[in-house]
């Protein structure tokens, strides 16, 4: 007959108060297995942003300023008229119900072939998107459109013309002007040879500078960053009689070139054999530019280029070694490099590396131009199968989250990410060689990433789970699990768990705790019945110090938890504390 069951309320108490101990016992029984913190994500293999008919690809992403993101892409749903769409994903991982299903149409112009979409925030929860469009029988022009936070297009239907000069205008890039508008740069061959041009458009979609843009310099492969004063610093590859070098120019809010900078731009590296660079702010009005360097091969697309960087200040004066600081002399794969600011005047650069396979590496350089990590970079991922096309976002604590496409499983491409700490160590709370974000059937490719404002990131990609000719757009959030160092001499008296914040929370809540010594830690979320909702950390040992985790409001299955009361239980060694949080929807 067996023993009688205890009363229901006792069962609930036992489940709620002793489940963590049972889990620890199971973990000890399997102590030969390595335990990691579970990286908080929205949904297994990502959230679909667009699954319309035909193919969608080339996604680009920008923050919505509230923990979510706006994603734009090239869209083939209208047959031969290739258009531009966008979608808003909230911080919770839900697609914004105010926006049209499968995205808001930014341009579906008849006869158009729109590509090379890029996106910038409008500063009000919406975005400005630019693209090149082949309306003119082989001659590309540049257009742009604004979509507000509610998913409503704001400018002329099918976009405003940024440049329709003779010849082709290609490769548009975009940055905010800080006033609701944007600055767009592109490569332009109206005069025969390619040159770099730019245009500023205000929040109403009205061009502010010379019609069809102002000439920045001869050269191509332009990239830009806002200067914080309505202008931009633009970098590009410029060819002279001695070869191709890396240059930069400062265009003011008025559209005039900064008179403090040399006419034709400042040479950041004039040794022949360079390609175009990637650019970020130096947090002091200047810029840091990183590039792949072919000075030993004559061209960055030949041989195995090195990786270099240079800093230029607001006055156009180069700050580091002439012709750049060497970040890595290891062979890299041409055209696959990404850079972000480190928050302290320096930068973190990631690239596809070929020293012992096709892998992902990264390097940090400080404001003085001194390399901070292992010579030639730290290994972010060296898994079998090959990795490529890294994209990077800052973690808000001096490190970075890096994403890439990865062929370690069955030869198909998948999306992975890893967290590199400010010290250059890969985050020990994450799996070796990165966390899988999207490993569905078919190929997942072309990842793009943006910081979520909570030390994590949102990644979007082109997804082939419905077939290679019916690709879709997916997104995934990855938490930036981080460890905060305790200042020397600061006492840590005991294990302590602080109250979740915000509380109540309408989508996500952060739980912080202190450890007096290294401890195996579990962090789990339960509902009022004692049912396990989410595992945030699954028994991995964490060092002494302050720790923070964010719960996105989702369950382990990826579904959003219902509104109500939840209990976050933090277990450290033999101690445990529970804190209550209310979720409102």
Q: Confirm whether 272 is domain-assigned.
A: no
Structural domain span for residue 566: 8-33+492-583
Sheet with 435-438: list strands edge to edge.
Answer: 387-394, 400-406, 414-420, 435-438
Q: Confirm whether 393 is domain-assigned.
A: no
- Beta partners for 457? 451, 478
Long-range contact pairs involving 146-151 (C-beta distance under 8 Å, separation at least 24): 146/122, 146/203, 146/205, 147/70, 147/86, 147/104, 147/106, 148/122, 148/124, 149/64, 149/88, 149/124, 149/125, 150/98, 150/99, 151/86, 151/88, 151/96, 151/98, 151/99, 151/100, 151/104
Sheet with 532-542: list strands edge to edge.
Answer: 532-542, 519-527, 564-572, 575-583
Q: Confirm whether 195 is domain-assigned.
A: no
Helix (H), strand (E) at residue 26: helix 8-29
Distance (Å, whole) CA 294 – CA 275: 8
Q: Confirm whether 506 is domain-assigned.
A: yes
Enter the DSSP assignment of 486: P
Distance (Å, whole) CA 187 – CA 240: 17
pLDDT < 70 positions in the chain: 1-39, 136-137, 298-303, 480-494, 507, 558
- Residue 25, class by beta-carbon neighbours within 10 Å (0-12 exposed, 13-18 middle, 19+ buried)? exposed
* Omega within 30 of 0 (cis) for the link into 107: no
pLDDT of residue 239: 85
Q: Answer for the pair 96, 66: CB distance below 8 angstroms, yes or no.
A: no
Can you read off the two tokens belonging to residue 436? 């899988």
To 5 degrees, how large is the angle CA 399–CA 405–CA 406? 105
Can you read off the two tokens belonging to residue 206? 């009205």
Note the pLDDT tens digit of each residue in 297-332. Answer: 755 655 689 999 999 999 999 999 999 999 999 989
Cα-atom radius of gyration of the chain, to the nearest Å? 25
Which candidate, 397, 362, 331, places its Cα nearest to that of 548? 397
- Beta partners for 376? none
- Beta partners for 310? 289
Q: Is the pTM of this model over 0.75?
A: yes
Q: Could you please report the per-residue DSSP string of 74-85?
A: EE-TTTTSBEEE
Distance (Å, whole) CA 305 – CA 206: 42
- Torsion sign, CA atoms 90, 95, 101, 102: positive
Q: Confirm whether 533 is domain-assigned.
A: yes
pLDDT of residue 494: 67
Region of 307 (left: φ > 0; alpha: ψ -120 to 50; beta: rest) is beta
Q: Confirm whether 519 is domain-assigned.
A: yes
- Residue 81, class by beta-carbon neighbours within 10 Å (0-12 exposed, 13-18 middle, 19+ buried)? middle
pLDDT of residue 101: 98
The separation between the first and the last C-alpha atoms of the chain, rounded to the nearest angstrom, is 46
| Structural domains of the chain, count | 1
Enter the DSSP assignment of 410: T
- Torsion sign, CA atoms 212, 217, 220, 223: negative
Residue 86 DSSP SS3: strand
- Torsion sign, CA atoms 408, 409, 415, 416: negative
Which candidate, 474, 361, 469, 486, places its Cα nearest to that of 424? 361
- Torsion sign, CA atoms 10, 12, 16, 22: positive
Tell me how far the alpha carbon of residue 584 is from its chain's centroid: 28
Distance (Å, whole) CA 291 – CA 269: 10
Can you read off the two tokens belonging to residue 285? 């009005």
Q: Answer for the pair 471, 465: CB distance below 8 angstroms, yes or no.
A: no
Q: Confirm whether 23 is domain-assigned.
A: yes
Distance (Å, whole) CA 579 – CA 81: 54
Which candidate, 348, 463, 481, places its Cα nearest to that of 402? 348
Length of the chain: 585
Note the pLDDT tens digit of each residue in 535-585. Answer: 888 877 777 777 777 787 888 776 788 888 999 999 998 888 889 898 987
Q: Confirm whether 202 is domain-assigned.
A: no
CATH number at residue 543: 2.60.40.4070
Which candidate, 403, 386, 388, places its Cα nearest to that of 460? 403
Distance (Å, whole) CA 220 – CA 308: 19
């Amino acid at each position: 007959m067996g023993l009688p069951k205890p009363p229901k309320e006792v069962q609930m108490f036992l489940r709620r108060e002793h489940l963590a101990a049972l889990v620890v016992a199971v973990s000890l029984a399997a102590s030969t297995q390595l335990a990691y913190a579970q990286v908080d994500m929205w949904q297994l293999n990502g959230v679909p942003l667009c699954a319309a008919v035909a193919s969608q690809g080339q996604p680009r992403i920008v923050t919505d300023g509230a923990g979510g993101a706006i994603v734009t892409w090239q869209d083939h749903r209208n047959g031969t008229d290739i258009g531009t769409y966008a979608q808003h994903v909230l911080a919770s991982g839900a697609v914004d119900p105010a926006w049209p299903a499968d995205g808001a149409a930014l341009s579906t112009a008849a006869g158009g072939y729109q590509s090379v979409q890029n996106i910038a925030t409008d500063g009000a929860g919406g975005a400005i998107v630019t693209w090149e469009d082949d309306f003119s029988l082989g001659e590309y022009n540049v257009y742009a459109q604004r979509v507000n936070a509610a998913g409503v297009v704001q400018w002329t239907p099918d976009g405003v013309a940024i440049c329709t000069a003779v010849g082709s205008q290609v490769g548009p890039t975009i940055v905010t002007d800080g006033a609701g508008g944007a600055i767009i740069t592109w490569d332009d061959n109206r005069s025969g040879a390619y040159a770099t041009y730019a245009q500023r458009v205000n929040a109403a979609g009205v061009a502010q500078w010379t019609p069809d843009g102002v000439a920045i310099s001869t050269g191509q492969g332009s990239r830009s960053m806002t200067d914080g004063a309505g202008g931009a610093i633009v970098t590009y590859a410029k060819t002279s009689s001695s070869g191709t070098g890396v240059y930069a120019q400062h265009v003011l809010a008025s559209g005039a070139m900064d008179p403090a900078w040399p006419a034709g731009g400042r040479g950041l590296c004039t040794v022949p054999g360079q390609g175009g660079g990637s650019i970020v702010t130096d947090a002091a009005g200047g810029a840091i530019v990183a590039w792949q360097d072919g000075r030993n091969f004559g061209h960055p697309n030949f041989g195995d280029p090195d990786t270099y960087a240079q800093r230029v200040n607001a006055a156009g004066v180069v700050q580091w070694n002439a012709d750049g600081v060497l970040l890595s002399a290891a062979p890299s794969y041409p055209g696959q490099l990404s850079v972000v600011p480190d928050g302290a005047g320096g930068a973190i650069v990631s690239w596809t590396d070929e020293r012992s396979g096709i892998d992902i590496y990264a390097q940090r350089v400080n404001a003085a131009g001194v390399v901070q990590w292992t010579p030639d970079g730290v290994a972010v991922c060296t898994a079998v199968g090959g990795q490529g096309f890294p994209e990077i976002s800052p973690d808000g604590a001096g490190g970075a989250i890096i994403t890439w496409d990865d062929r370690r499983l069955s030869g198909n491409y998948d999306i992975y990410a890893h967290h590199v700490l400010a010290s250059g160590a890969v985050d020990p709370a994450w799996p070796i060689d990165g966390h899988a974000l999207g490993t569905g059937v078919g190929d997942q490719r072309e990842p793009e990433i943006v910081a979520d404002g909570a030390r994590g990131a949102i990644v979007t990609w082109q997804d082939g789970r419905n077939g290679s000719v019916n690709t879709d757009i997916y997104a995934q959030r990855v938490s930036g699990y981080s460890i905060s160092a305790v200042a020397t001499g600061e006492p840590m008296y005991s294990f302590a768990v602080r109250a979740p914040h915000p509380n109540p929370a309408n989508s996500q809540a952060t739980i912080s705790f202190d450890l007096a010594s290294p401890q195996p830690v579990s962090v789990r979320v339960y509902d009022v019945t004692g049912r396990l909702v989410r595992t945030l950390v699954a028994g991995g040992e964490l060092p002494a110090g302050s720790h923070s985790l964010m719960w996105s409001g989702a369950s382990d299955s990826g579904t959003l938890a219902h509104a109500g009361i939840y209990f976050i239980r933090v277990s450290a060694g033999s101690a445990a504390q529970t804190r209550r949080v209310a979720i409102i929807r």
